[in-house]
Amino acid sequence: MKKLLIFVFLLSFVRSYGQTPQINLIPQPVLLKQNEGSYQLTNETTVGFNNPLCGNVAAMLAGKLNTSTGFAIQSMQGKPGSIEFDLNKVAVEKLGKEGYTLVSTSKGVTITANDPAGLFYGMQTLLQLLPKEIESRSTVNMSWVVPAVEITDYPRFGWRGIMLDVSRNFFTKEEVKKYIDEISRYKFNTLHWHLTDDNGWRIEIKSLPKLTEVGAWRVPRYGQFGQRAEPKQGEAATVGGFYTQADIKEVIKYAAERNVTIVPEVDVPGHSMAAIAAYPEISCTKDPNTKVNPGSNFSEWYGNGKFKMLTDNTLNPSDDKVYDFLDKVFTEVAALFPNQYIHVGGDECYKGFWEKDPGCQALMKKMNMKQPEELQAYFMKRVEGILKAKGKKLIGWDEILEGGIAPEATVMSWRGIKGGIEAAKLGHYVVMTPTTFAYIDYQQGEQTIEPLLYAGLRMSKCYSYEPIPEGVDAKYILGGQGNLWTEQISSFTHAEYMTWPRGWALSEVFWSPKESKNWDNFVQKVEKNFDRADIEGINHAVAIYDAIIAVNKKDGKSIITLSSEVPGLDIYYTVDGSMPSTYSQKYVNSFELPEGPVTLRVVTYRSGKTIGHLITLRPEDLKKR
Ligand code: ACM
């Protein structure tokens, strides 16, 4: 089997079969065999299906094809179509719920699956087999050819997620739908919707109307998050927004049609300043002047995982009225979201206000608790009880392990992989989303030119991720997820820029067989996907073309090493302040920076044309490295 896999895998890299088109599928399918020949779409093409459950995907495909081809392709049940979607009458075990087979010949295309989810993914693969112009939103006159292939494909992991933070920056429901559409193309099946935080409460809770009347709005501030001015006395809170329950239902339906499950997050007991602004009585300090935070600094970080909140953003775990509040919230959330999981946060909860609160201290004494972390564990166990009563399962960030994990909790490992390892060893399910491989809010290229953030994560690092930690029983690893926090993201197009292409790397990590990883091949596919995204109007970064500058200090000298993520680029540089070009020094080997206040400029070229951004490191930048 392994030999067969390798053979078929190598076959998939043979890039040219005479006149047959090159195949660039992301994520890489499990088995792909390219045959001679192709099928050409025409106005005579039909889309058929064998079961009413296939109607949605068949209609979706016909609509998409007609937009760019200008044809009037119809979908219909009963008669075999030239593109045929069939549900297997007897399930093929290895395909599971999301797998599919796709066979294209000169006569047409047949996609089969056990479940509509698999047909949806077969459709996405078919679209990627077609010329990139299929993504056009207007008619293009060209030859629409599908190469002849045989594909068998199914996911490595059942949880393939992206988290979108809509609290720090509000995205409209149309934007969220567009995001769902984009992630589903790459076979992500989970949108973790971070709906509440210090900077905005985004989901209508009818029994607690102030959560959105007050909690969804903050004062207008722009610029670096964490350095903005505090709200002024009496200043109107005009920036924000929220989803009505009707909006939420609409988004859930849209997602379900694309095999995307939405996992809502209500982040408690920390990260709750927006809720406290609406209902101050749910905190220990009960400060009626609490405001939704506009991105001002209210915390101190000490670099060892320790921190202090200067403003109280935590719920009071010792107050029964807080659990009544949460019961109301989760009753409505549970009724809206059909999936089994509700994410309850649990991250970065400062315990300092609890340590000063008589009620919390009395509870600790009564329960014989030694550490304030046990208060959070107590809180989470009660929240788990609330969710269980509504038929839901609790998932939270890895801090929920501290002080004793709730009995049936699932853990999202974000502070590296250790939380995931610990949870799995305790027999809890885990979703792997470590900062080091999966935080797509981090800078994706050279730090001086990418939008500012305190850490970096290149696409190659995302691609190198292996979600199953060594020594852990794989059955506990549900899968993985990329997280898009939006403190520094103030528009939807910037959210896209941060997501792509790193999301493509993660899609392959979570879907494709581990054995099929191949960086050079993946980079080629990414470049082809850039063209697709450009046709469709999806923003993406091109940071993979930029030079990577490493500065190593040795005996008081700075040794410069240049490289690039995309193989085979030419790198030119200057150290005399002039603009680098093909007339400048071409990089071959590491070199010593000359003495003096030197400015280093670097740029990449391919085939004699600039392809990367110009990077300028002034003497003060170089000193810091
Ligand atoms: C997190 O990044 N605070 C989960």
**DSSP track, 415-458:** SSSHHHHHHHHTT--EEE--HHHHBTTSB-S-TTTSPP-S-B--
For residue 246, being part of any structural domain is answered with: yes
Q: Are 157 and 187 in contact (CB under 8 A)?
A: no
Segment 94-105 mean pLDDT: 98
Confidence of residue 548 (pLDDT cuts 50, 70, 90): very high
Q: Given 153, 178, 208, which residue is the final one in a domain? A: 153
Specify whether 482 is located in the same domain as 518.
yes
Confidence of residue 3 (pLDDT cuts 50, 70, 90): low
Whether the bond between 467 and the residue before it is cis, its omega within 30 degrees of 0, is no
Q: Counting atoms of ligand 1 from 1, which one is nearest the CA of 412?
A: 4
pLDDT of 451 reads: 94
Q: Given 515, 536, 557, which residue is the final one in a domain? A: 536
Specify whether 40 is located in the same domain as 149.
yes
Mutual angle of helices 519-536 and 502-511, in 10-degree steps: 120
Say if residue 178's pLDDT is above 70.
yes
Task: Give 593 Cα–ligand 1 centroid separation in angstroms.
Answer: 39
348 lines ligand 1 (CB under 6 A): yes
Specify whether 145 is located in the same domain as 163.
no
Task: Give 401 Cα–ligand 1 centroid separation in angstroms.
Answer: 14
414 lines ligand 1 (CB under 6 A): yes
Confidence of residue 305 (pLDDT cuts 50, 70, 90): confident
Pocket test residue of 167, 192, 397 for ligand 1, highest count of atoms within 8 A of CB: 397
pLDDT of 15 reads: 38
Does the pTM of the predicted model rise above 0.85? Answer: yes
CATH number at residue 63: 3.30.379.10
CA 554 from centroid of its chain's CA atoms: 39
pLDDT of 11 reads: 47
**Main-chain phi, psi angles of 91, to 5 degrees:** -60, 140
397 lines ligand 1 (CB under 6 A): yes
Say if residue 7's pLDDT is above 90.
no
Residue nearest ligand 1's atom 2 by CA = 414
Residues annotated catalytic, as ranges: 197, 271, 348
Confidence of residue 16 (pLDDT cuts 50, 70, 90): very low
Specify whether 490 is located in the same domain as 552.
no
Residue 337 to residue 342: CA distance in whole angstroms: 9
Say if residue 20's pLDDT is above 90.
no
Confidence of residue 331 (pLDDT cuts 50, 70, 90): very high
Specify whether 111 is located in the same domain as 184.
no
Segment 202-208 mean pLDDT: 99
Say if residue 1's pLDDT is above 60.
no
Confidence of residue 2 (pLDDT cuts 50, 70, 90): low
Task: Give 399 Cα–ligand 1 centroid separation in angstroms.
Answer: 10
Residue 438 to residue 482: CA distance in whole angstroms: 5
pLDDT of 4 reads: 52
3-class DSSP state of 195: coil
Q: Is 476 left (phi over 0), alpha (psi -120 to 50) or beta?
A: alpha
pLDDT of 547 reads: 98
For residue 298, being part of any structural domain is answered with: no
pLDDT tens for each residue of 335-370: 999 999 999 999 999 999 999 999 999 999 999 999
pLDDT of 467 reads: 98
Residue with tokens 């994706």: 444
* Overall domain count for the chain: 3
Residue 524's domain comprises 159-268+322-347+391-536
Segment 25-48 mean pLDDT: 97
Residue 439 to residue 456: CA distance in whole angstroms: 9
Specify whether 74 is located in the same domain as 208.
no
Question: What is the H or E stretch that residue 529 is in?
Answer: helix 519-536
Pocket test residue of 197, 199, 272, 347 for ligand 1, highest count of atoms within 8 A of CB: 347
Question: What is the H or E stretch that residue 117 is in?
Answer: helix 116-129
pLDDT tens for each residue of 110-124: 999 999 999 999 999
pLDDT tens for each residue of 373-396: 999 999 999 999 999 999 999 999
Segment 483-487 mean pLDDT: 98
pLDDT of 303 reads: 87
